Structure 1
Amino acid sequence: MAYRYWCGECGFRTAWLGESQGEQQQIEHYAKQHPGIPPGGQVETNRKRPDGGGGCLPAAGIILLLVVAAACHR
């Protein structure tokens, strides 16, 4: 799942990132643009756009294809 963090003080928003990456960008934004104000705002989630490799599902699919190919080869 990907996350986008919105600033509660201005119109800033992060790109779609992993949870910890987005949170870190929001913290850095607040430190530079709104010093002394604790980070706040909203977090938007995007279930259709996973961050990174997508977990183990692609690997499981490849393994399944290899097993089927090996079974058919005999």
Structure 2
Amino acid sequence: MKLRKRLLTCLLLVGTTINLGCALPIWHPEPNIRARQLIYASESLRHIPEIWERIWGLELPDLATPYRVHGGVI
């Protein structure tokens, strides 16, 4: 009986801690500071596609495409 009670207590604690999320919140509790933090985070995340294109060279011109010289296509 005592073991069952301990087991149920442990399961209850594990279940509640999983549902609570992180013990330390990421964002500040004050709304003004939290809004500024969220704006900074979203601005940083906005540049990820540009960084990805620069790393993989996707923004460079494709050298295999034909280009015009004197109105003709080479």
TM-score normalised per structure 1:
0.27
Which structure: greater strand fraction? 1
Q: Decide which structure has the larger Cα Rg and report it.
A: 2
TM-score normalised per structure 2:
0.27
